[in-house]
A and B are shown apart, each in its own frame.
Chain A
Amino acid sequence: MCGIAGSLHLYGGSAGQEQLRRMIETIRYRGPDDIGTYSQGPIGLAHARLSIIDLAGGHQPMSITQDSLWITFNGEIFNYIELRDELIAKGHRFTSSSDTEVLLHLYQEEGERCVERLNGQWAFAIWDAPRRKLFLSRDRFGIRPLYYTQADGEFLFASEVKALLACPQVACAIDLHGLDQIFTFWVTVPPRTAFQNISQLPPGHSMVIEEGHVRIAPYWTLDLAPRVANGHTTDTQLTEELLELLHDATRIRLRSDVPVGAYLSGGIDSTVIAALAKRNVGERIRTFSVTFDASELDESRFQHEASSFLGTSHHNVRCRHEDIVRIFSEVIWHTEQPILRSAPAPLYLLSKLVRDSGFKVVLSGEGADELFGGYDIFKETKIRQFWGRRPDSSWRPLLLKRLYPYLPGIQRQSLEYLKHFFHVTREELNGLFFSHLPRWEVTKKAKQFFSVSARTELATADAVTALLRDLPTSYATWPPFAKAEFLESRYLLPGYILSSQGDRVAMAHGVEGRYPFLDHRVAAFAARLPARLKMKVLDQKHLLKMAVKGLIPESIRTRSKQPYRAPDGVSFFRNNDEYVQDLLSPIRIKRDGVFDHRATEALVKKFRSGNETSVKDNMALTGILSTTVFLDRFMRGVGVGGSTASPPSGAQLLSQSESRL
């Protein structure tokens, strides 16, 4: 796992070594083991390396065939051994044992379609010198990030936005439309980011720049169209097939020349992966967890049960309220986008624990909830769909009481209020976004804190329109459950789970996450399963639970879903609230111009009073805080708590960009 950056002069000019070095130095924490640059004519490539495979021979940027093909590559190709054998049989000669070189040869052999053969997680750029073509690609689920922009006739790309901002010609300003999307979906819809004029390559897409033209196209999408049953496969056969797939997905993700650890959240998914890792390795593995003071969030009991059952060497880090406040600014520096939940912060501490323990690779269970029916929003969809078929039924809506058992604000509601909140009409049932309407409605309410100027700028904005342009052709015909799965996998997974809670906070400490559930073979298997096997009645991850019987402790296999959560707004007011006082002072809020200072002051007062706060209040507070830090760190180059950092080159004070609001 590494950091990459590069540039291509589109209309003449040469790539400068100094710029390349400045870009890659800003994200050096992604690859502290080695650094390399290459420039020749219009192309410049840079690489910061986290050495994991072929420690001695994997230096990048790397070239083959007398420097005609060059690559800078972030990620891992887990099936590189099989691909290498295949390529050798076809006459290719290798000078290293790295997966990077395999990727270059595969490109040479199969061209742009080579990505379809890859099993892994990647963001890379290949310079095809004879064709003067730059080929970039991002993995299927967006595990690895890839950003780009164009300025002064130069195409620039990098693993993180801050590497682009290191170029003086790249302006830095918040994209209010991106913020509007975050305050609706929690994420921006690719290619949009939280920065003006900076884009991200969508997951499952490749990009070609050739003769001054840019071409972006998908090479893979998660197709959840209902399948016609082909032959008769029993549930038992399916559980066996799933377990076999997961076993192999884990096996190839253990390919590494450094030791591999595993996260243990206390839930089913990470425990399954740790168990399969142990089976593959055949020896004691190291596991890592985060714990909390608050009993409703803490899962240490289950983490210890899993560790004890699997015989792992277990380490944990306790995340306290004051820790979240202490590291919040650093976390936003890494997420590179405002966030509505504080949940990335504890994971930042966790990756530090991993790194301090001498590990730089961890396996984790991300993807299982999206692909196998784990999230409560799928249960919500199913119940609302059931109720929506008979909206007048008096007993069907009673099932709403079964939703979100861990949220007291929902549990203590009367049925009348639940019915209003989880509303359903026959028309909505057939809508494109039926499953997510209640969630988006709550999130959107946090926009009431936007300033008048921000609202004016966004008067015609419609976050949902961006989704409409991005849906698969047959999406409209899919059942609500499949639509919900797609929305989770396509947007929240790459934009938040794998990014703010994944790559960013892990790579902040040079730690690579690997996700067996996101092996595309596992995804293809999940895509052809009928919904009834993902959620039998209201039993979440039904088939997965059947498949892992005996593999993990029964107490974990049969426990009800406990989503990973962290203390939100209350963290910032627990001891003293100097942090909030400084960050959300009326002067600062007015100066930034994004939020209304009076409303923000009233929100702070509400939290300070110690009275009960709602889900919306917590999202709004975290959203305003993180946006303010985001503006400070990226547009003003200011650290919080008195420390200062150099502003990225090209940064504009928001007051300057405000003229565009």
Chain B
Amino acid sequence: MLQTIRKFVIDNYLFGEEDKLGNEDSFMETGIIDSTGILELVRFLESTYGIKVTDEELIPDNLDSVNKIVSFIHAKQSVSTQTDGGISFQSAGRLPI
């Protein structure tokens, strides 16, 4: 998953400049992804991992680095599994305060 997400970011935001991406790098601080570009990322995550990112989850705490995205997807997938088992959650990842 980490490599897939890295590849997407490198191909679509860094346009090949692989060495400019650390897994902990903040997309916003480094300017890798601008505000209008974040929705591309969400589309990709939704279609690749079969998840639905809610408006409330559209926050930097969930999406602002490769590692944060990996954690977020894992959390979403885990919630999805638990929901299938009868436990209901409204959202995963960190919620905005």
What is A's interface to B at a CB cutoff of 8 Å? 407, 409-410, 412-418, 420-421, 441-442, 445, 448-449, 598-603, 605-606, 611-617
Spot the interface stretch: B10-18, B69-77, B79-87: B10-18
In contact, B59 and A416 (Cβ under 8 angstroms)? yes
Give min CB distance, A554 to chain B, whole Å.
33
In contact, A420 and B60 (Cβ under 8 angstroms)? yes
Give min CB distance, A605 to chain B, whole Å.
7
**Range class of the B interface residue count:** 20 to 34
**A611-B40, A612-B39 are known contacts. Are A602 and B34 too (CB-CB below 8 A)?**
no
Would you give 27 A-B contacts (Cβ < 8 Å), ordered by A?
Answer: A409-B36, A410-B36, A412-B39, A413-B58, A414-B58, A417-B35, A417-B58, A417-B60, A420-B35, A421-B34, A421-B35, A441-B34, A442-B34, A442-B36, A445-B31, A448-B15, A449-B15, A598-B16, A599-B17, A603-B15, A606-B11, A612-B39, A613-B40, A614-B34, A614-B37, A614-B40, A615-B34
Residues 1 to 59 of chain B near chain A (Cβ within 8 Å): 11-12, 14-17, 28, 31, 34-40, 43-44, 55-56, 58-59
Give min CB distance, A390 to chain B, whole Å.
18
In contact, B36 and A615 (Cβ under 8 angstroms)? yes
Query: Residue on B with the closest CB to A415?
Result: B96
Query: Residue on A with the closest CB to B38?
Result: A417
Q: Report chain A residues within 8 Å CB of B59.
A: 414, 416-417
State A606–B34 Cα separation when bound (angstroms): 16
Q: Report chain A residues within 8 Å CB of B34.
A: 421, 441-442, 445, 614-616
Q: Report chain A residues within 8 Å CB of B55.
A: 414
Give min CB distance, A350 to chain B, whole Å.
28
In contact, A416 and B96 (Cβ under 8 angstroms)? yes
Give min CB distance, A445 to chain B, whole Å.
6
Give min CB distance, A222 to chain B, whole Å.
31
Query: What are the 9 A-B residue pairs with the smallest beta carbon separation, nearest first?
Result: A421-B35, A409-B36, A414-B58, A602-B15, A599-B15, A614-B37, A416-B59, A612-B40, A614-B36
State A107–B36 Cα separation when bound (angstroms): 53
Most B Cβ at <10 Å: residue of A413, A414, A445, A615: A414
**A420-B60, A611-B40 are known contacts. Are A413 and B11 too (CB-CB below 8 A)?**
no
Give min CB distance, B36 to chain A, whole Å.
4
Give min CB distance, B40 to chain A, whole Å.
5
State A559–B38 Cα separation when bound (angstroms): 30
State A417–B62 Cα separation when bound (angstroms): 12
State A421–B31 Cα separation when bound (angstroms): 10
Query: Residue on A with the closest CB to B44?
Result: A611
Q: Report chain B residues within 8 Å CB of A448.
A: 14-15, 17
In contact, B16 and A599 (Cβ under 8 angstroms)? yes
In contact, A413 and B38 (Cβ under 8 angstroms)? yes
Give min CB distance, A604 to chain B, whole Å.
10
Q: Report chain A residues within 8 Å CB of B11.
A: 602, 605-606
Q: Report chain B residues within 8 Å CB of A441.
A: 31, 34
In contact, A616 and B58 (Cβ under 8 angstroms)? no
Q: Which of A417, A421, A611 contacts B43 (CB 8 A)?
A: A611
State A253–B34 Cα separation when bound (angstroms): 44
In contact, B35 and A413 (Cβ under 8 angstroms)? yes
Give min CB distance, A331 to chain B, whole Å.
25
In contact, A616 and B35 (Cβ under 8 angstroms)? no
State A146–B37 Cα separation when bound (angstroms): 39
Q: Report chain B residues within 8 Å CB of A410.
A: 35-36
Give min CB distance, A2 to chain B, whole Å.
42
Give min CB distance, B11 to chain A, whole Å.
6
State A50–B39 Cα separation when bound (angstroms): 50
Query: Residue on B with the closest CB to A604?
Result: B15
**Given A409-B39, A449-B15, A614-B36, 19 other A-B residues pairs in contact with their CB atoms under 8 A:** A413-B35, A413-B38, A413-B39, A414-B56, A417-B28, A417-B60, A418-B35, A421-B36, A442-B34, A445-B34, A599-B17, A600-B15, A602-B11, A611-B12, A612-B39, A614-B34, A614-B40, A615-B36, A616-B36
Give min CB distance, A574 to chain B, whole Å.
19
In contact, A420 and B28 (Cβ under 8 angstroms)? yes
State A599–B37 Cα separation when bound (angstroms): 17
Give min CB distance, B14 to chain A, whole Å.
8
Q: Report chain B residues within 8 Å CB of A605.
A: 11
State A420–B40 Cα separation when bound (angstroms): 17
State A388–B39 Cα separation when bound (angstroms): 26
Most A Cβ at <10 Å: residue of B31, B36, B44: B36
Query: Residue on A with the closest CB to B11?
Result: A602
Q: Report chain A residues within 8 Å CB of B14.
A: 448
**A407-B36, A420-B60 are known contacts. Are A414 and B12 too (CB-CB below 8 A)?**
no
Give min CB distance, A189 to chain B, whole Å.
23
Give min CB distance, A444 to chain B, whole Å.
9
Give min CB distance, B8 to chain A, whole Å.
10
State A612–B41 Cα separation when bound (angstroms): 9
